[in-house]
Structure 1
């Protein structure tokens, strides 16, 4: 694996409980608890409720950020974890969030961001 500055994990949660994923207070509480489970340190939270439905938000964490977008009308949640270190194991928190959102399934994808060899190459040019 190449050395990079950031590690991004995206999770798509399907068939969620629309009432759960359309409640700002519930979503905030779930994400803050999930961060605790994953040993991530929350610095600040901003979550916006759209009218008539849907939520977007971000938790700034010392390790980078957690972002969420919900579509209750489709029972769907898109969640991003961006961390500055690959040592964070997000698995337990991702499964816990699935349980709390009452999602029937989820899919994860991971990628690296800011490859150091490419950054250093640019600096030497």
Structure 2
């Protein structure tokens, strides 16, 4: 199956408290990013929390963009998911970084719909027996120690 969409999740650290708690600033940043990244805005929705923080969502023809802010931590969680080849989620993230000016970022790029092969679709189950091995090894060490002490 081919890749259906590009999904970028970005953790932005060290952002300004004032910017993260300013709805008009965040809205302007998101609408600029949507426009510059060749995306089509369908709807913009938000919720302002008390005493601080907000969640903003841009519903796009290509999918969505969201920001969750934690001003007290200087942290913003950004999510940009787009389908199709004409939009540029990486450009949107770059614009948001320009607005929020984080000191540090962590970006995760996810290819949505990319299963590779049919075997990749099967759930993988891992069973760890390391704790049992540790108990057995500890018991052997205790017995060894006790046999040496005389």
TM-score band w.r.t. shorter chain: 0.7 to 0.9
RMSD: 2.0
Higher Cα Rg: structure 1 or 2?
2
**Please, which runs of 5 or more residues in structure 1 have no aligned partner?**
none
Q: Does 1:110 align with 2:109?
A: yes
Aligned residue for 2:60? 61
Q: Does 1:7 align with 2:6?
A: yes
Q: 1:21-40: per-residue Cα shift (whole Å, max 9, x none)? A: 11111101110001111111
4+ residue segments displaced more than 6 Å: none
Looking at secondary structure, tell me which structure has more helix per residue.
2
Return the TM-score normalized by structure 2: 0.70
Return the TM-score normalized by structure 1: 0.83
**Following the alignment from structure 1 to structure 2, what is the Cα–Cα distance between the partners of residues 90 and 112?**
12
Higher relative contact order (CA 8 A, sep 6+): 1
**Following the alignment from structure 1 to structure 2, what is the Cα–Cα distance between the partners of residues 34 and 16?**
17
> 2:11–2:77: 8 Å Cα contact kept in structure 1?
yes
For these two proteins, the number of residue pairs brought into alignment is 118
The farther-off stretch of 99-108 and 8-17 is 99-108
